[in-house]
Amino acid sequence: MGFKIALGGDHGGYKAKTFVIEMLTKQDHILHDFGTNNEESVDYPDFVHPLATAVENEEFDFGILFCGSANGVCMSANKHQKIRAAIAWTAEIAALAKQHNNANVLCIPGRFLNESELEEIINSYINATFEGGRHQRRVDKIPC
Ligand code: RB5
């Protein structure tokens, strides 16, 4: 079964986002791109907050954000109380973000990953399942 996936990011993540959209289009998902739509310099919070609000409102199953380092988009997304945004730079970390932290936004450092790494990381996150149990107890303590 496919997912409803929100994607977004700044100019530093644009190329990676474009690749991931092409990749996910070949799978059975519904995608919505919150922008940006080219490599002109922009401010990442302008794209993160609308996406994060939509994920909080359960309009999407999860989001994937992209910037150069992943830090800016992750910091911005995590200001939203119901968002658990995690930076992933390996497939194992991406899987753990879902399995242990029930991350609902994955943050990708677009300037530091090649296409095969991107494919592995995204598929690893999508195919992972939250393990619940003691992890649910910890996740419940995150909001402040
Ligand atoms: C843009 O140059 C870069 O600062 C941005 O993409 C991101 O890495 C910020 O955290």
- The three-state DSSP-derived secondary structure of 61-87 is CEEEEEECCCHHHHHHHCCCCCCCEEE
CB 121 within 8 A of CB 108: yes
The answer to whether residue 54 scores a pLDDT higher than 90 is yes
Q: Which ligand 1 atom is the nearest neighbour of the CA of 13?
A: 6
Rounded to an integer, what is the distance from CA 100 to the centroid of its chain?
A: 16
Cβ of 111 less than 6 Å from ligand 1: no
State residue 81's pLDDT score. Answer: 97
107: annotated active-site residue:
no
Instruction: State the catalytic residue, choosing from 29, 32, 49, 100.
Output: 100
**In the predicted structure, residue 1 carries a pLDDT above the cut 70:** no
Residue type, 92: E
What is the 6 CA–ligand 1 centroid distance (Å)? 20
**Residue 28 — very low, low, confident or very high, per pLDDT cuts 50/70/90?**
very high
The pLDDT value given to residue 125:
98
Nearest atom of ligand 1 to the alpha carbon of 69: 8
The predicted model scores a pTM of 0.98
